[in-house]
Structure 1
């Protein structure tokens, strides 16, 4: 955690957290290093994370799946503005035009009503509606819509070996272009030739927030990072599109790119984590697992550790997926814990 030089700041932060407010005051203008909250955790497909559960009541496994509980810690969730959360993206490193296009298409698929597919088909937008069941102390829910509001490219301005604190520097740099807004999300995506602290060792992505500073207009601003695992750890961060667990051969990715399709899985995990736990005092389990992490490894009915479950299959390409996006695009997203049912779900 970065060292803050304002004596009263921790008391004020605690007061803000207790009130659960996103109306953030310009407490201190000193620029602070990264403040770590809960990382987005994706373990290997054969590992079973310890989770806080109640008695067995049924679920998606071959045997009754126990009810999962995510504790609420009295903090805010992201309600956005006008039921909309803006996302600003930095593509760091080298991404091909197709890779950028695929990632943009996924992020545009969160806008409610954008998918032009049958109402009977599962969609990214309907997956996101599960987050609307997460509410704060004032019964204010997570915004129904995510909007890709802007993106920029950074060609290795900080090199190819980054610390987590460098991610915050890139976020602050993007704020000079897009502005700083505590009700928006800032996302850094790194290409497969970029090494990032902790990447592939324990995480596939992380999310943090900034302390108030002059650079953030006195606001705490949530942000996240996801790396491309294609050459560094596909078995960890691109599973099930890479072999692992009970899969001796990876499934065919819907967009033809093991790295980018793997990134999309983690981006989905990350966005849900930021929205429901933006400042580390929202919804999470004692071990840090959040809305999607609590359902880790579950992608379809019949899932169990090392097996993703029953998925949809593209008849032309043989690719496996579970949701449709904008322009009839196809993606794989993990199941998310639904606080209304206390079960892992794929759609509202």
Structure 2
């Protein structure tokens, strides 16, 4: 090999080393900048519409399908816990979690009501519209329920479907949603907020009952022990989310970010956040029952324990589980 060849190889080697050093310095510089520049806070814009401020927020509940007594009891207990005092000053509770919604104030200065009251309930265990429901079927169920429930635009008409029922978009796009009816003769000319949540136990627990089931997407992780049963606890997680959304954005012109049809709302803006240190695939640091090993983040009435998604706090512009 000639001397010139050695010099050329040495030059190529030095150039390669310099290039990689430059790239390393550039990466370090970007990382440093990312640390030094604070991330912009999340903002849910207010669109000048009302919130559910009349107290209590009345709930008219329709169980569609077959629900066990224990499932019904857990759901009733969760609703009652939203306005029940905490067991102790330092214990995380459903009512403290719900109190974050007080900061969602409308243009008249009214905040979200701090009491939720289950007024009446009915059960349709004969699947009167079948086990394959469209979104229009959900509206029909609400309108039909007005034969038994009063018409109240400050209430939430809640439809819960059992594990045998498939609703359009369920397990693919969402686990529950809230809507509102258009004014009509059946609604006495009023727009009525309503919501639907499904039990995902046999259809997609990894999607709608995570972290109490192995995740449907992403790296596998061992499921946590649920305090009340995988199906009903997954339902309650989504119920908490849609209730917060219905209270702060009942008619699509309240608090949300982004496109109104796929809006980020009070709890949806904090997706997968259930405790400190949460990140996608990890719910955060949760409490654990010493006897049952069940994981939870809030306590309710009658020693019930639940997992609820964190809510965006307008006072701090960040997600939180307790004020």
Q: Provide the TM-score with structure 2 as the length reference.
A: 0.85
Q: Which has the larger radius of gyration?
A: 2
Structure 2 partner of 1:184: 155
RMSD: 1.7
User: Within 1, Cα distance between the matches of 2:311 and 2:219?
Assistant: 22
User: Is 1:331–2:302 an aligned residue pair?
Assistant: no
Assess, with a 3 A threshold, how the Cα gap between structure 1 residues 65 and 227 changes in structure 2: closer, same or farther: farther
Please report how far the alpha carbon of residue 307 of structure 1 lies from its aligned counterpart in structure 2 after TM superposition. Answer: 0.3
Give the alignment partner of residue 91 of structure 2, picking from 121, 125, 136.
121
CA contact (8 A) 1:57 1:66 kept: no
Contact 2:311/2:319 (<8 A) preserved:
yes
The offset of 1:247, in angstroms, is: 5.2
Mapped contact 2:84–2:301 kept (Cα < 8 A): no
- Report deviation, 1:176: 1.4
In structure 2, the residue matched to 1:149 is 119
Q: Which has the higher contact order (CA 8 A, sep 6+)?
A: 1
1:229 counterpart = 2:200:
yes
Q: State the alpha-carbon separation in 1 of the partners of residues 140 and 158 from structure 2.
A: 12
Q: 2:181 touches 2:192 (CA, 8 Å); kept in 1?
A: yes
Question: How many equivalent residue pairs?
Answer: 284
- Residue 253 of structure 2 is aligned to residue 281 of structure 1: yes
Shift of residue 165, structure 1, vs aligned partner = 0.7
Distance 1:301 1:233, change over 3 A: same
Gaps of 5+ in 2: 1-33
2:76–2:118 Cα contact (<8 Å) kept: yes
2:62 to 90, 96, 101: 90
Equivalent-residue separation in structure 1 for 2:273 and 2:95 (angstroms): 18
Deviation of 1:112 after TM superposition, in Å, equals 3.8
Q: 1:99 and 2:74 equivalent?
A: no
Do residues 68 (structure 1) and 42 (structure 2) align? yes
Do residues 199 (structure 1) and 170 (structure 2) align?
Answer: yes
Q: 1:308 to 1:66 in 2, by over 3 A?
A: farther
TM-score normalised by structure 1 residue count: 0.79
1:66 is displaced (CA, Å) by 5.2
Deviations 1:286-340 (A, max 9, x none): 1411000100000000101110000000000000000000112100001000001
Residue 248 of structure 1 deviates from its aligned partner by 1.8
